[in-house]
A and B are shown apart, each in its own frame.
Chain A
Amino acid sequence: MTLVMVVDDDQDLAEMLGIVLTGAGIDVDLVSRGDEVMDVFRNNPPDLVLLDVMLPGLDGIEVCKLIRAESMVPIVMLSAKGDTQDVVKGLEAGADDYMVKPFRHPSELIARIRTRLRRTNADVSGLLTIGDLAIDVQAHQVARGGKQIALTRLEFDLLVALAKEPGRVFTRDALLSEVWGYRHSTDTRLVNVHVQRLRSKIEHDAEHPEIVVTVRGVGYKAGVLGGS
């Protein structure tokens, strides 16, 4: 069974989330305080964390940073604010995705969670190379010159999506549907923030990216190291 950790201080909402997730065949661990998250997390590592931004004890952004420091587990932030700053802050702290309360449909939440949990790129096999990076899709590993680079699952998926079709220019919308599983969303902040994070891990110089290249006015593509 999949285990999802739900961190929310609103007891009723947490219970409701529990009902919906359990109904979908997912085990749930409920935590109501920010400063209790790490203990529960270490004792019983979940497959995914649903994390509210506003929490007593320790706020969601900080909790997100703490989890990220130890684990590459997918994190989906729950936010009562749609405001840009909070969303971007959450994504920069290491969240993979976010959902703004109230969700359109519980089914949307479940779809989001499943997307984050499924093994993407099951169709891609073997080794991919992009620039001077070697990507082992099955083993979920990226290495440069034999040295492992730790990526979150989402960052890995993003990199693979670009690497399996080198040269193709992906619009942000295309990446949103490919990696995040959104049909059409206009929120391209998700893509922008994650590309920045990915670059900071894999590029030689994140200011002058050579692997994930911006195509102005369109989107991104996998670049070939050393030009052309």
Chain B
Amino acid sequence: MNRIYGRIQKSLAIKVIFSTVILSLAVTGITGSALNSRLAAGIKEVNLNSALIEARSTLFTAEYRFLLAQGEKDSEVQKVVDDVISSATTLTANENAREVVFIRSPGNTRKNNYEIASNLLDPSSIPQSLSERVRKKPDLVYQYTNMNYLTGTQVRGLAIGQKVQIPNAGQYEMFIIFSLANQEKTLDLISRLLLLTGFVLLLLIALITWLVVRQVVKPVREAAVIATEFTSGDFRKRLKVESQDEISTLGFAFNEMAESIEKQIARLENLSRVQQRFVSDVSHELRTPLTTLRMASEVIHSSKDSFDPIVSRSAELLVAQLDRFERLLEDLLEVSRFDAEVAVLEAVDFDMVQLVQRCADDLGLVAKKRKTQIYIKTVEPVIMVKADIRRVERILRNLLSNAIDHAEEQQIDVQIVSSEHDVAVGVRDYGVGLDENALTRVFDRFWRADPSRARIRGGTGLGLSIALEDARLHNGELEAWGRPGRGAHFVVTLPRNTWESIEQRLIQLQPEDYKA
């Protein structure tokens, strides 16, 4: 039921047809049944009148003949009774069947008994109430009843009765019962015809409604389909406008909107393509002079001992800044790849634990300089994954460098957890931490927690945002937690097989050691 209701709710056409049919059903039902009852009443009345006229003449004849047989012998009287019955029940072609019943009135104690019913009709077909009314009234009395035959058949009938005096036998009630079988049949036919007409009418109304609604709904539905395709990215779709009605106005308006959106998007796409292309070209073009610069600075640097201290220190700065410049260039290029969506994954099988260990070893010297130390805790000695090792290494290095930068001479805990499906690495430091505002921005490009902080490590400011992109490229996730003064916790979760997506977070983002 709910499903049908749902369907009706969803389609305008079905909704309109449904309500039209329901309303028409009510209207045809009311008019049909009114018509039916009027017709039935009319037919019954006509039949009743003709039956009464006929009964009156028959009863009159019977009374008359009994009157004539006054004083005759019993056998003659019997003959008269038989005669009366046979003449009353004889039919002409288009008449209803009739039966005659004689019932001795109560209190009549004469010994001659003429109680009789024609054609095996059960005399009990005459209701008691009718008999009583016949006895009380001198005139004709009638009542509708069922004619029960001793053979078992039953027919609707109209019983008309009157008192008669049979010679030598006292008072009897004589009934003529008209079969209403034909009338019933006619009435039945009429109501069936009315029902059929109503049904056909309903069908026609539904059909007409459908045709009309379709004219309105079809363009609306087409518009909806095209709007959906438009939403899903096919901006070339347009509505067909064939007429000049309100629907076509809608079509025109829609098409104009589509046109303008398509232009805007094309313009923006072009702009961002040009921009990404520009960034990528700049990065590439910068590389060749940078290479020359690097080599020149190295040549100078290698003989710095022969310079005076100022020149010598300048050579050192030159080399260091070129390093930093180069890192920035690398990161910019990587970011431009992500923006252009041309970053590709090159998945290989490797051991995550070993990789974490190696990254920690490589950064060990830096960590030592900052008076911190990296401790690695793993659930398993070997965790094989299939991923882009270069990118995963970059994520780990970025997280570790970040932790070293903010550790404030406290230790750094690295945790590696794996399940059948996923692997997670959590990097926890207990240093300056992050406030709420920082947490929302920590992955933004060139964002720094504290602009006044010295850029000791000379990070590019792109590390964490690249790490996030790297994690997402693996269908993984990188999340950050932090509290001011309580340190920070970065958790990267990756599927162990690159092309799948992560099933669950293996490491709780809020560290267990932290109690709010």
Q: List chain A positions with a Cβ less than 8 A from chain B.
A: 10, 12-13, 16-17, 19-20, 23, 80-82, 84, 101-103, 105-107, 184, 186-189, 216-217
The reply to whether A19 and B287 contact each other, CB–CB distance below 8 Å, is no
Which of B193-201, B261-269, B294-302, B497-505 is the interface stretch? B294-302
Question: Knowing that A10-B288, A19-B299 are A-B contacts, what are 14 other residue pairs whose CB atoms are under 8 Å apart, sorted by A's residue number?
Answer: A10-B292, A13-B291, A16-B296, A17-B295, A80-B287, A81-B284, A84-B346, A101-B291, A106-B298, A107-B298, A186-B390, A188-B348, A188-B389, A216-B349
B15-32 contact mask (Cβ, 8 Å, vs A): 1 or 0: 000000000000000000
Query: Which residues on A sit within 8 Å (CB–CB) of B358?
Result: 184
Closest residue on chain A to residue B388 by CB atoms: A186
10 contacts between A and B (CB under 8 A): A12-B292, A13-B288, A13-B291, A16-B296, A17-B295, A80-B288, A81-B284, A103-B291, A103-B295, A188-B389
Complexed CA–CA distance, A81 and B344 (Å) = 14
Within 8 Å by CB of B299, from A20, A101, A184, A188, lies A20
B289 close to chain A: CB less than 8 A: yes
Query: Which residues on B sit within 8 Å (CB–CB) of A189?
Result: 346
Q: List chain B positions with a Cβ less than 8 A from chain A.
A: 284, 287-296, 298-299, 326, 333, 344, 346, 348-349, 358, 384, 389-390, 393
Complexed CA–CA distance, A10 and B288 (Å) = 8
Within 8 Å by CB of A16, from B292, B333, B344, B393, lies B292
- Identify whether the interface residues of B are mostly helix, strand, loop, or mixed: helix
Complexed CA–CA distance, A84 and B342 (Å) = 11
Complexed CA–CA distance, A70 and B299 (Å) = 36
Query: Which residues on B sit within 8 Å (CB–CB) of A188?
Result: 348, 389
- Identify whether the interface residues of A are mostly helix, strand, loop, or mixed: loop
Closest Cβ of chain B: how far from A50's Cβ, in Å? 12
Query: Which residues on A sit within 8 Å (CB–CB) of B293?
Result: 102
Within 8 Å by CB of B294, from A10, A19, A103, lies A103
The reply to whether B294 and A102 contact each other, CB–CB distance below 8 Å, is yes
The reply to whether B384 and A217 contact each other, CB–CB distance below 8 Å, is yes
Complexed CA–CA distance, A82 and B287 (Å) = 11
The reply to whether A13 and B393 contact each other, CB–CB distance below 8 Å, is no
Query: Which residues on B sit within 8 Å (CB–CB) of A105?
Result: 294, 298
Query: Which residues on A sit within 8 Å (CB–CB) of B291?
Result: 13, 16, 101-103
Complexed CA–CA distance, A17 and B288 (Å) = 12
Complexed CA–CA distance, A216 and B384 (Å) = 12
Contacts A19-B299, A20-B299, A188-B348; A102 near B390 (Cβ below 8 A): no
Query: Which residues on A sit within 8 Å (CB–CB) of B326?
Result: 102
Please indicate which of the listed interface residues A23, A188, A216 has the most CB atoms of chain B within 10 Å of its own CB: A188
Complexed CA–CA distance, A122 and B256 (Å) = 77
Closest Cβ of chain B: how far from A105's Cβ, in Å? 6
The reply to whether B384 and A102 contact each other, CB–CB distance below 8 Å, is no
Closest residue on chain B to residue A184 by CB atoms: B358
Query: Which residues on B sit within 8 Å (CB–CB) of A13?
Result: 288-289, 291-292
Within 8 Å by CB of A187, from B298, B333, B384, B390, lies B390
The reply to whether A102 and B299 contact each other, CB–CB distance below 8 Å, is no
